[in-house]
Amino acid sequence: MNRMLVVFAIVATALGTPTVPTAQTVTASDQSPFGFQYEQTHTPRGVGVEGYVYNTLPWRITNVRLQVDSLDANGTPIASASGWVVGDVPAGGRGYFYVSVSAPAATYRARVETYNKVMLEAPAVQAP
């Protein structure tokens, strides 16, 4: 875990993109075929949420639109923003996203609003 944090810090420094070390991982619920891993970032673009959406569907998907809700300490939504996942997300794979938010929040909640199916495919083999 410490090694992973050191590598992440080096990459963030090399890119000149300081990040807040409060990563949030949200797993897919029983009703959602999507999981998320994301964190709040501070970049030259401003405050944002960046991370990955995980696709458990048997289809490659594209045009994935996300909604990120900013939540206060009580879990009440205080703001909302939308953004796109970059490129296609393969079956069993993940896709990167960055969504600008209006202000920092205690926590965030992400969900997939819309997507288009591209094709049925075998899930990508992921190393443990």
CA 116 → CA 29, 52, 55, 59, distances in Å? 20, 18, 12, 9
In order along its 128 residues, the chain shows pLDDT tens digits of: 555 444 444 444 444 443 333 444 444 445 789 999 999 999 888 999 999 999 999 999 999 999 999 999 999 999 999 999 999 999 999 999 999 999 899 999 999 999 999 999 875 566 66
If one counts every other C-beta atom within 10 angstroms of the C-beta of residue 109, the result is 18
Copy the structure tokens of residue 49. 């949420």
Class of domain 19-120: mainly beta
Delimit the domains of the chain by residue range: 19-120
The pTM is what? 0.71
The closest of 22, 31, 76 to 49, measured between CA atoms, is: 22
Tally Cβ neighbours within 10 Å of residue 12: 15
What single string gives the DSSP state of each residue in 49-64?
Answer: EEEEEEE-SSEEEEEE
